[in-house]
Amino acid sequence: MDIERSARQVRENGYTVVPDFLGEERLEALRRGLAPVFEEIGSRMTDDYGQQTIHTHNLLAKTRAVDELLMDDDLLGLVEAVLGPDYQVSGVAAMRPGPGDRRQRMHQDDGHYPLARPHFPLIANTLIALDPFTAENGATEIVPGSHRSADPVDPDVPTLTVEMPAGALFLWDGAVWHRGGGNSTDSGYRRSINFNFNLAWLKQRENQYVGVPWDVVVEMPEKLQELIGYRLTNKGLGTVDYRNPLETVKRRLAEAHSS
Ligand SMILES: O=C(O)CCC(=O)C(=O)O
C-alpha cells in the first residue's frame, strides 16, 4: 500500500480507496470467519427512514475473525498517517445492507465532538468490502472535500458513490459527509467490516472496556489490548494507580492462569 499517497488523498479529498487491500486468501478467510455474524444480521424499521441496514456492533466481543486484520501494519500505518500516533479503536462492526434497505441519512461520524469546524481529523473510519460495493447494493455515498466545510450537513448536495471491488479498503476522515446507500437489488448483500479509529484522548464510540469481556481482553495479543484502549496516551492519560493499564491486564492474566 502507498500509505503516503492514500494519506494525501484523505487530507485533500477526505477519503481514499485501496482496491487490492485484502487479497483473495484473506477475503475468503474473512467471509468464512464472519459467516455466523452475518447470518444474525437483519434489517430494522425506523419511522423516519423506513427499512434500513442493521449492523452488528461490539464485534470484538463476538468473534475472533477480525483480530489479525485489525492489527494489519498497512492499515494501522495509514490510520497513523491520518491521525498521528495517538489513536485507538473507537468501534468495530459488521455491516450488511440487504435487499430493500433504504439509504441512511447524511451524517458526519465526528458529530459527537462539539468542536468548531473545520478541524484536524478526529476519526479515521473504514469499510473493508467483503462483496463488491455497487450503486445498486448500497455502496457508501460521500461528498468529497466536505471535511473542510464549516457548514451544517446538507442532505441534498451531489454525492459520489464509492463503488469498489471485494477486498478493497475505503478510509475516510470522520468529518466527511456521507451515508450508507440504499440496496435496490432482489438478493444482493453488501457485506463489510467497519473499523472506526479515533484520537486516543477522545471517548470511544463503543465502550470497549465494558463491551469486550475481561476474559476475552486478557487473552488478546498486547497490540490489540493497546489498540482498544489499554495503554497510556497523551502524556499519561488512562492510568490505573498511576501506572500503565497493561500492567493490570497482565496481572489479571497471570491470576486467571494460576487459579
Ligand atoms: O455502510 C455504510 O456505507 C456507511 C455506514 C455509516 O456511515 C454508518 O452507519 O454510520
Tell me, what's the pLDDT at 112? 93
What is the distance between the alpha carbons of residues 111 and 207, in angstroms, rounded to a whole number?
17
Q: What's the predicted TM-score (pTM) here?
A: 0.95
Tell me, what's the pLDDT at 50? 65
3-class secondary-structure state, position 16:
strand
Of the chain, the end-to-end C-alpha distance in Å amounts to 45
Task: Determine the atom of ligand 1 nearest the C-alpha atom of 141.
Answer: 3
Burial of 160 (0-12, 13-18, 19+ CB in 10 A): middle
Ligand 1 site-directed mutation target among 54, 95, 147, most atoms within 8 Å of CB = 95
pLDDT tens, residue by residue, 51-96: 777 788 999 999 999 999 999 999 999 999 999 999 999 999 999 9
Q: Which residue ranges make up each domain of the chain?
A: 3-205
pLDDT tens, residue by residue, 25-46: 999 999 999 999 998 876 665 6
What is the distance between the alpha carbons of residues 173 and 124, in angstroms, rounded to a whole number?
5
Sign of CA dihedral 53, 195, 110, 106: negative
Q: What fold is seen in the domain 3-205? A: Jelly Rolls (2.60.120)
List, in order, residues 6 or more apart from 124 with CB less than 8 Å away: 10, 78, 79, 82, 83, 87, 171, 172, 173, 174, 197, 198
List, in order, residues 6 or more apart from 230 with CB less than 8 Å away: 217, 238, 245, 246, 249
Ligand 1 site-directed mutation target among 53, 101, 104, most atoms within 8 Å of CB = 104
Residues 213 and 256 sit within 8 Å (Cβ to Cβ): no
Q: Whose CA is nearest to atom 4 of ligand 1?
A: 180
Tell me, what's the pLDDT at 194? 97
Residues 111 and 211 sit within 8 Å (Cβ to Cβ): no
130 Cα: distance to centroid of ligand 1 (angstroms): 15
What is the distance between the alpha carbons of residues 13 and 147, in angstroms, rounded to a whole number?
8
134 Cα: distance to centroid of ligand 1 (angstroms): 14
In order, the DSSP letters of 51-71 are EEE-EE--GGGT-STTHHHHT
pLDDT tens, residue by residue, 96-111: 988 989 899 999 999 9
180 Cα: distance to centroid of ligand 1 (angstroms): 5
Tell me, what's the pLDDT at 258? 84
Element (H, E) at 222: helix 222-227
